[in-house]
Structure 1
Amino acid sequence: MRWVHPTREAGVDPLTYASAVLLAADDNQFHPPSIGDFFPPALFFEGTAFEFTRINLAQVIATVVLVLVLLIGTRRLKVVPGRFQSVIELFFGFVREQVAYQVLGEKDGKRFLPILTTMFFGILFMNLTGIIPGINIAGTAVAGVPLMLALVAYVVFIYAGIRKHGGLRFLKNSLVPSGVPVYLVPIIALVELISTFIARPVSLFLRLLLNMIVGHMMLVLFFSATHFFLLSMNWLTPFAIGTFGLSFAFTLFETFVYVLQAYVFTILTAVYIQLAVAEEH
């Protein structure tokens, strides 16, 4: 008697059979986070330049909610503010006092307050989509938004420096600090060129992007582990209590990180503007 593989007897390709078995068994497997989370399938316009994914949906939702919050919160301002107006004023006051005025002073702070406020609220609301059920990924977790914001900060501080000093003097102040010996000027100028005009925007971009990527992967790790332990239905199931507790704690921590990253990006932009408008470095 000769043993015949069931797939051959049924006329089924063995590779197709193996794939089906693996997919069926995959339901109770642990699914770790991967870089593929940041390349979700298209929801609309797949394969075109206008491809729309779940991350794009998160960005649109964050933008719409931000506009609505600001419109509702500032539409009917009262001398004695209600709770909602108080919260809005608290955040506006925070950016004005703790970022713009503290770093730039009142005069320059007023000039650049609109762009700094826009940055802070935009980053904050984009970040917060990372903990919203059903979306679960930050709008700043892909390169597009952090890169755009870094380029805006780059253009703003260069514009501020040129507007204040003129192009040649701004370059001199940026590349050659006062008191540098003549024989060190070429080396110092090269170092300042890299640190001022390359490292600043790159560091803004990478700091925001990588924090959002790591935060998302950690949240997915804890929640995936909870899901796996719950479905295991064996001695591993009690571990779900611990991983769920870690999930909740890390969600609170990530909320703090989201606010912190919005603040850090905004205050660094203000610092770069202040360095650009300063008389000497």
Structure 2
Amino acid sequence: MIPMQEGGYTAPGVEDFQFPGLFGTDWITKPMIQAVIAAVIVIVMWVVASRRLKTVPSKGQYLMELIYEFIRNSVGRDILGPGFRPYLGLLVGLFTYILLNNWFGELFLFMFPTMSNIGYAWGAVVLVLFIYVSAGFRRHGIGYLRKALIPEGVPWYLYPIIIPVEFLSNFVTRPLTLGVRLFANMFAGHLTIIVFVVGGTYLLTQADGLVLNAGGVISLLFSLVMMLFELFIGALQAYIFTILTAQYISSSISESH
């Protein structure tokens, strides 16, 4: 959709990230379909990759092993330590799922990063919150609440101050910043691309003068550069999200606070 009106230019904005419901519903939207497609692709991709492994890997097997080893070594083993294996599948799946949804913004069939819709970023955050809290209870039982809310060495008379602060830090600030970081980066990046594409198209097709038309060409070319840059940003944000997930799980299952 190009937000241009006859006789003028309408700048892209938040409305370009809103989609009408499909099939006569309000809840089946383009981002939701993308989220489902990404989930199916990730599941099928890893199921297929785990079958018929060869000693001399094919290019596809080599790529999947590269992703797996990257998350296992740089996230699972380095952050979670010796007990990383129960959470490795989660970390690998989470990384590839968010990566694919982020890269949808540069795939011409989709052209929209799913996580630039904050509702889907919150969905991923709720999953992470549930996992690291349940991991804490599974490791420490009800004692996890004391561990999460009362740091070691804090005198009892500071509990009324420390407990609310630790609650906000562990159960509010962590998920809030995790979701906002992912959403804001994908939203800002995609909006920037739209601005260059729409503005360049307008200058090239609607503006009078060679200088303005040349500016349109430059803007469109720069949008291609931005799309390549957003591929990097999408991968980086997926990696950061996965690292922070591992760190939160580590803090929940560790013995010290």
Q: Deviations over 1:116-166 (max 9, x none)?
A: 111111111111111111421111221332112111111111111111111
Query: Which residue does the alignment assign to 1:40?
Result: 19
Query: Which residue does the alignment assign to 1:148?
Result: 123
In 2, Cα distance between equivalents of 1:189 and 1:67? 40
**AA matched with 1:149:** A
Query: Which residue does the alignment assign to 2:182?
Result: 208
**AA matched with 1:126:** N
Q: Deviations over 1:223-268 (max 9, x none)?
A: 1111111102423101023212321221111111111111111110
> Which of 100, 103, 106 pairs up with 1:131?
106
- 1:238 aligns to what SS in structure 2? helix
Query: Which residue does the alignment assign to 1:17?
Result: none
In 2, Cα distance between equivalents of 1:121 and 1:265? 11
Gaps of 5+ in 1: 1-24
Contact preservation (8 Å) 1:32, 1:220 = no
Q: Among the aligned pairs, what percent are the same residue?
A: 33
**AA matched with 1:274:** S
Query: Which residue does the alignment assign to 2:57?
Result: 81
Count of paired positions: 252
- 2:86 aligns to what SS in structure 1? helix
Q: Deviations over 1:185-207 (max 9, x none)?
A: 22111111110111111111211
Following superposition, the deviation at residue 271 of structure 1 comes to: 0.4
**AA matched with 1:70:** W
Q: Which has the larger radius of gyration?
A: 1
1:170 corresponds to 2:149: no
Contact preservation (8 Å) 1:41, 1:53 = yes
- 2:84 aligns to what SS in structure 1? helix
Query: Which residue does the alignment assign to 1:251?
Result: 227
- 1:76 aligns to what SS in structure 2? coil
- 1:45 aligns to what SS in structure 2? coil
Change (3 A) 1:40 1:95: same
Pairs within 5 Å for 1:264-279:
264-279=240-255
In 1, Cα distance between equivalents of 2:242 and 2:81? 15
Query: Which residue does the alignment assign to 2:132?
Result: 157
Contact preservation (8 Å) 1:229, 1:237 = yes
**AA matched with 2:135:** A
**AA matched with 1:251:** M
Gaps of 5+ in 2: none
Q: Deviations over 1:37-65 (max 9, x none)?
A: 22122332234xxx322223332333343
1:262 corresponds to 2:238: yes
Change (3 A) 1:176 1:252: same
In 2, Cα distance between equivalents of 1:164 and 1:68? 31
Following superposition, the deviation at residue 88 of structure 1 comes to: 0.7
Query: Which residue does the alignment assign to 1:181?
Result: 155
- 2:22 aligns to what SS in structure 1? strand
In 1, Cα distance between equivalents of 2:204 and 2:45? 38
**AA matched with 1:112:** Y
- 1:103 aligns to what SS in structure 2? helix
In 2, Cα distance between equivalents of 1:144 and 1:187? 32
Following superposition, the deviation at residue 184 of structure 1 comes to: 1.9
Following superposition, the deviation at residue 216 of structure 1 comes to: 1.3
Contact preservation (8 Å) 1:151, 1:201 = yes
In 1, Cα distance between equivalents of 2:20 and 2:69? 40
In 1, Cα distance between equivalents of 2:122 and 2:251? 21
* Worse-superposed segment, 81-90 or 31-40: 31-40
TM-score (norm: length of structure 1): 0.83
